[in-house]
């Protein structure tokens, strides 16, 4: 697999209402439930999913987040503050084999060393523990993270189509990528190399809630029919073109 250049730690939150509802429905199918089940949200942002996992699924959810401003936001909320820690998922302070499940929710594409991060997660999981990954799907014809023109601080708008289809060796001549994007076979191979067995996979389609903060006005005006189209797409022959791919893995 052709490598990206240095990827900086970055990322946004996906804790908008519809996105959280859809993602939690997927997560709930595969997480252990009930008191005592320990779940780690790696790259937890401001803790929205930690809160939801504890409240809705009743698990002992903890979160680790690298960015100080996101941790500070989490600490402003008493119901989640004790459970969010600042740190690097490439080297975590938890005991080996101490978690029943780990969540990587649109995170693996933002870490500098994806192999090291997955190795650390593998260490923390109990035998038979689950890893649930949401990550970009390169089949989706828009680069939703956006890319920069090489040598300039100009960001290409994320609604410009077909940028993900540009082969990476060619794309690196024109663009500066700040997040990875994976073909489905690439993500599967990455997880298998890290020692995981893939149990299930699916695709996630957009909710059009302006998660990026850069949504064009025409999309906001058309969000109802676009959401209906996405609900159809998730069940159709074209489901593999969703914005994200979901992989459920086992140690």
For residue 15, the model assigns a pLDDT of 78
What is the set of domains in the chain, with CATH numbers?
Answer: 17-144+180-250 (3.40.50.150)
For residue 2, the model assigns a pLDDT of 58
Residues 208/227, Cβ–Cβ less than 8 Å? yes
Residue 216 pLDDT greater than 80, yes or no: no
At residue 213 the predicted structure's pLDDT band, cuts being 50, 70 and 90, is: low
N-to-C CA span, the chain: 23
Please give the model's pTM, rounded to 2 decimal places: 0.93
Q: What is the pLDDT of residues 198-207, one digit of tens each?
A: 999 999 998 8
Quote the CA–CA distance of 223 and 207 in Å, as a whole number: 8
Mean pLDDT, residues 68-92 taken together:
95
Q: What is the pLDDT of residues 128-140, one digit of tens each?
A: 999 999 999 999 9
Q: Assign residue 112 a region (left: φ > 0; alpha: ψ between -120 and 50; beta: otherwise).
A: alpha
34 vs 28, higher pLDDT: 28
The token pair that represents 244 in the structure block: 């994200």
Most confident of 31-40, 85-94, 203-212: 85-94
Nearest CA among 43, 52, 177, 26 for reference residue 105: 43
Output the CA torsion sign for 142, 48, 179, 148: positive
Q: What is the pLDDT of residues 111-122, one digit of tens each?
A: 999 999 999 999
Quote the CA–CA distance of 40 and 60 in Å, as a whole number: 9
- C-beta atoms surrounding 224 within 10 Å: 9
Residue 88 pLDDT greater than 90, yes or no: yes
- C-beta atoms surrounding 27 within 10 Å: 26
For residue 212, the model assigns a pLDDT of 65
Quote the CA–CA distance of 60 and 58 in Å, as a whole number: 7
Q: What is the pLDDT of residues 138-153, one digit of tens each?
A: 999 999 888 999 888 8
- 42 beta partners: 64, 104
The token pair that represents 155 in the structure block: 């960001």
For residue 208, the model assigns a pLDDT of 83
111 vs 11, higher pLDDT: 111
């Amino acid at each position: 697999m052709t490598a990206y250049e240095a990827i900086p730690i970055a990322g946004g939150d996906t804790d908008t209402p519809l996105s959280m509802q859809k993602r939690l429905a997927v997560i709930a199918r595969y997480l252990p439930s009930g008191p005592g089940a320990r779940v780690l949200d790696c790259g937890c942002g401001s803790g929205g999913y930690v809160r939801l996992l504890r409240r809705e699924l009743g698990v002992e959810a903890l979160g680790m987040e690298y960015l100080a401003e996101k941790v500070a936001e989490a600490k402003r909320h008493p119901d989640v503050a004790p459970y969010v820690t600042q740190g690097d998922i490439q080297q975590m302070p938890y005991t080996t084999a101490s978690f029943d499940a780990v969540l990587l929710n649109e995170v693996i594409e933002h870490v500098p060393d994806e192999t090291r991060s997955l190795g650390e997660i593998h260490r923390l999981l109990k035998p038979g523990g689950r890893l649930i990954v949401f990550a970009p799907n390169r089949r989706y014809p828009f680069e939703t993270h956006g890319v920069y023109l090489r040598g300039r601080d100009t960001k290409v708008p994320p609604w410009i189509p077909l940028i993900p289809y540009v082969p990476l060796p060619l794309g690196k001549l024109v663009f500066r990528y700040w997040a990875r994007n994976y073909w489905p076979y690439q993500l599967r191979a990455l997880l298998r190399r890290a020692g995981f067995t893939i149990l299930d996979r699916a695709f996630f389609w957009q909710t059009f809630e302006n998660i990026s903060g850069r949504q064009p006005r025409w999309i906001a005006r058309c969000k109802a029919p676009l959401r209906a189209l996405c609900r159809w797409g998730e069940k159709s022959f074209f489901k593999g073109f969703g914005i994200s791919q979901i992989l459920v893995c086992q140690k």
